[in-house]
Amino acid sequence: MVERTESESRKLLGRLRDAMAQEGAGQARLDKITNLIADSMGTEVCSIYLFRDENTLELCATEGLKPEAVHETRLKLGEGLVGRVARTGKIVNAADAPSAPGFRFMPETGEEIYSSFLGVPIQRLGEKLGVLVVQSKTAREFSSDEVYALEVVAMVLAEMTELGVFVGEGAALSARHQQPVMLRGTTGQEGTAVGHVWLHEPRVVVTNPIAEDPHRESVRLTEAVDQLRGSVDEMLTNVGGDKDQLDVLEAYRMFANSKGWMRRMEEDIARGLSAEAAVEKEQSTARARLSQVNDSYLRERLHDLDDLSNRLLRILTGQGNHTGAEMPADPVLIARNIGPAELLDYGRSLRGIVLEEGSVGSHAAIVARALAIPLVIHAGRITNEALNGDHIMVDGDQGIVHLRPDDTVVAAFRDKIAMQAEAQERYASIRDLPATTLCGKTIDLHMNAGLMADLPSLESSGAEGVGLFRTELQFLVRNQMPKRSELSALYTRVLDAARGKRVVFRTLDIGSDKVLPYMKPNDEPNPALGWRAIRVGLDKPGVLRMQLQALIRAANGRPLAIMFPFIAQYEEYAAAKAELDKALTREKKLGHPIPEKVEVGTMLETPSLAFATRSFYDEVEFLSIGGNDLKQFFFAADRENERVRRRYDTLNVSFLSFLERIVERCETSNTALSFCGEDAGRPIEALCLTAIGLRSLSMRPASIGPVKSLLRRTDLDALRKVIADARHRGMQSVREPVMEFLRSQG
Ligand code: PEP
Ligand code: MG
């Protein structure tokens, strides 16, 4: 019985292939296909619904329903049984369709006389393309064999849709990958970029979904899987002791040897699919599952399976990691996700980056920020939409991506870029001037850094120094813990490049969102409030000691500024400082030169430190407000959580009052104070911070120009009055009155 249905499946696919080989317009081909499927499945009706836009399905061809309904009948996603298949990606098999939940009667199609309904999604690698439906008068459920056969056909249809088979004169479909597409994501790094798509992982194109000789396909699959297993084993022997990589590779090995996976692909082949189409069918199923799974462990494993399927497809199609295409001169990198080390390999050659996943605090985002490359994350289905070489415009400020933009978008974008270029020129002209306000106060503007790639900005931005050097970035972009000698060489290069300008090195700030790839992640219920930064440094002091030694050696007698992250109470500061003192004594004993001056300070990132004892304020030499963390704790709003992270305004009166209190305390105790969170680089926020008394800000290099430019045109005394007045009036945020004030000043 199974064999009989297999050979019928194969026969149907063979007929489909022959139909495709004939000349004909897209619509004619679709019509022919519905006719073939209905005939071979023994049903009165076969219909193909394809997505017109993201939310609308259109009846594109039918055998059995009224022909005048073609291109007229449309359904919203989720509407009716067809819409349900499209929305859930799951089949609907109903003996009595009109009484099935969600049924919607469409009189124009004449479908009321058909009782049984089977709908399967047409999808390719998790991308929804449409729905394939068969219906018949007899009330019966379709057998699992019939369901399977229809799924195989849907898979072939998906491949054909992808290949543009249905495009042409009188086309049922507009050509895919040719239309302008706008995708809305989230800002990862501000800035605009225009260029051409460079896919981090080019799509594998399967041109032969249907095969004639199942035996041959089965041999091809077996050989490819053998090759794959061999390469996984080889990777396993080469990986060394890296636990995480081992875990991933073990998962690969498990899948590569999985009997279920092989069996399903063999079944697909027996029904007429080529080896590559069989791999892709299984990959599609896994991707569809991926979008429905919340468990992070399972998601990881499904990702592993996806990677493995990609490798297998490349072996089968002979399409290597890079398909021979040449990287465009103005590449905009498109990827589902990317690791920081891979991103660093591309370096500054990239104009922009668009990721389908990622998060604001991800390592890739940190690197993109350090390289000042505009980045949009969560950009929907970009890896499915974009093709190598497509024209693309990235608006990092708004988190918007225009793929294959039309002329009006191009013109509007050009205007925006021209205005930005003009502004850049203005900033360059004030680069060597101080940030002195109209009321005569001078604000020190420093830059944040963390990678060697940042250092040229010290010169070009006009920064007075590095107010925050995030040392963890060097740890994050590696696959193993750096050695002391490597760190020392690196810090030496940083200090050399700074040419005497002050660099504040913050000791390792890991944990929370920053997880080292080679450290066992802690399964903590609340990582942002967990074992992170100085808490790790003090509990496991080996790394902190190594880092302090490396810094002292790199200074080689030059002045050194060290800052401890995430200090929440005096004792932590005292303990960290004691480690530094010990390191200094030890280095001196070993005969290394000691810095001529060592400044020791801490980040102020927890509200507790704002209320620390006077003795702490007297003792610590400088404080730097880490507004990113401080704000998340002040408002109890996770900085990584898209839902809440923008909910509270930095210019909220309570938060400003809180910051003002810290300023006053530092004035009283004569403690140097700066602000190094992202808000320091936002011009309006920067103005307000200086209006309440901050005199030193540290920010992304690209922000120094805009902030300085605005400061030089502002009277802080007048602004202070505006803020006081807003407070007096009981306003929640001072943003509006401040904007109004700035507008009135032109
Ligand atoms: C901060 O918390 O504001 C800060 C500058 O540190 P990070 O963003 O590295 O946590
Ligand atoms: Mg912080």
Q: What is the pLDDT of residues 207-235, one digit of tens each?
A: 788 888 999 999 999 999 999 888 888 77
Cα 426 to Cα 608: distance, rounded to the nearest angstrom:
41
Q: What are phi and psi of 129, to 5 degrees?
A: -115, -30
Please tell me the distance between residue 629's alpha carbon and the centre of ligand 1 in angstroms.
6
Residue 209: predicted pLDDT: 86
* The amino acid at 439: C
Please tell me the distance between residue 88's alpha carbon and the centre of ligand 1 in angstroms.
40
User: What is the residue with the minimal CA distance to atom 1 of ligand 1?
Assistant: 626
| Position in ligand 1 atom list of the atom nearest CA 678 | 3
Torsion angle of alpha carbons 575, 577, 582, 587, nearest 10°?
150
| Position in ligand 1 atom list of the atom nearest CA 509 | 9
CA dist 484 → 240, 528, 592, 594, 600 (Å): 21, 28, 14, 17, 21
Tokens, residue 101: 């939940």
Give the ligand with the smallest distance to the CA of 513: 1
Q: What are phi and psi of 245, to 5 degrees?
A: -65, -40
User: What is the residue with the minimal CA distance to atom 8 of ligand 1?
Assistant: 628
Residue 172: predicted pLDDT: 46
Give the containing element (helix H, strand E) for 221.
helix 214-238
User: What is the residue with the minimal CA distance to atom 9 of ligand 1?
Assistant: 470
DSSP-derived secondary structure letter, 77: T
Q: Which residues contact 421 (CB under 8 A, 6 or more apart)?
A: none
Residue 421: predicted pLDDT: 85
Q: Is 439 a catalytic residue?
A: no
Counting Cα atoms < 13 Å in the Cβ hemisphere of 701 gives 25
Please tell me the distance between residue 61's alpha carbon and the centre of ligand 1 in angstroms.
56
Residues flanking ligand 1, CB < 6 Å: 468, 470, 509, 605, 626-629, 676-677
Catalytic position from the list 60, 666, 676, 688: 676
Q: Are 339 and 364 spatial neighbours (Cβ–Cβ below 8 Å)?
A: yes
Residue 171: predicted pLDDT: 45
Catalytic position from the list 46, 60, 303, 363: 363
Q: Which residue among 362, 471, 509 is best mutated to probe the pocket of ligand 1, counting the most ligand atoms within 8 A of its Cβ? A: 509
CATH number for the 214-317 domain, one of 3.40.190.10, 3.40.50.720, 1.10.274.10, 3.30.70.20? 1.10.274.10
Other Cβ atoms less than 10 A from the Cβ of 455: the count is 19
Torsion angle of alpha carbons 617, 619, 622, 628, nearest 10°?
-50
Cα 173 to Cα 50: distance, rounded to the nearest angstrom:
8
Query: Taking the CA atoms of the chain, what radius of gyration do you get in angstroms?
Result: 31
Domain 181-201+328-410: top CATH class: alpha beta
Give the ligand with the smallest distance to the CA of 363: 1
Q: Are 650 and 625 spatial neighbours (Cβ–Cβ below 8 Å)?
A: no
Please report, for the chain, the start and end positions of each structural domain, with discontinuous segments joined by +.
2-162, 181-201+328-410, 214-317, 445-604, 646-746
Please tell me the distance between residue 575's alpha carbon and the centre of ligand 2 in angstroms.
19
Give the ligand with the smallest distance to the CA of 678: 1
| Position in ligand 1 atom list of the atom nearest CA 565 | 6
Q: Which residue among 629, 650, 659, 673 is best mutated to probe the pocket of ligand 1, counting the most ligand atoms within 8 A of its Cβ? A: 629
| Position in ligand 1 atom list of the atom nearest CA 470 | 9
Strand partners, 259: none
Cα 204 to Cα 215: distance, rounded to the nearest angstrom:
23
Q: Are 60 and 172 spatial neighbours (Cβ–Cβ below 8 Å)?
A: yes
Q: Is 71 a catalytic residue?
A: no
Which CATH number does 2-162 carry?
Answer: 3.30.450.40
Residue 55: predicted pLDDT: 85
Extended strands (E) in 427-512 = 435-436, 442-449, 465-470, 502-506
User: Concatenated DSSP letters for 401-437?
Assistant: EEES--HHHHHHHHHHHHHHHHHHHHHHHTTTS-EE-
Residue-wise pLDDT for 692-746, tens only, equals 999 999 998 889 999 999 999 999 999 999 999 999 999 999 999 999 999 998 8
Cα 620 to Cα 602: distance, rounded to the nearest angstrom:
7
Cα 154 to Cα 133: distance, rounded to the nearest angstrom:
10
Please tell me the distance between residue 631's alpha carbon and the centre of ligand 2 in angstroms.
10
Please tell me the distance between residue 565's alpha carbon and the centre of ligand 2 in angstroms.
7
CA dist 120 → 75, 90, 149, 157, 188 (Å): 16, 7, 10, 11, 37
Please tell me the distance between residue 501's alpha carbon and the centre of ligand 2 in angstroms.
23
Residue-wise pLDDT for 361-385, tens only, equals 666 787 887 778 999 999 988 988 8
Place of tokens 């400020």: 397
Please tell me the distance between residue 627's alpha carbon and the centre of ligand 2 in angstroms.
7
- Closest by Cα among 61, 56, 309 to 165: 61
Low-confidence ranges of the chain (pLDDT < 70): 1-5, 23, 167-176, 238-245, 248, 290-291, 296-297, 299, 319-325, 361-363, 513
Give the ligand with the smallest distance to the CA of 365: 1
Q: Are 281 and 152 spatial neighbours (Cβ–Cβ below 8 Å)?
A: yes
Domain 445-604: top CATH class: alpha beta
Q: Which residue among 470, 602, 682 is best mutated to probe the pocket of ligand 1, counting the most ligand atoms within 8 A of its Cβ? A: 470
User: What is the residue with the minimal CA distance to atom 6 of ligand 1?
Assistant: 626
Q: Which residue among 628, 630, 674, 699 is best mutated to probe the pocket of ligand 1, counting the most ligand atoms within 8 A of its Cβ? A: 628
Strands 465-470 and 442-449 come out as: parallel
How far apart, in Å, do the first and last CA atoms of the chain sit?
82
Residue 434: predicted pLDDT: 97
Give the ligand with the smallest distance to the CA of 675: 1
Cα 579 to Cα 556: distance, rounded to the nearest angstrom:
19
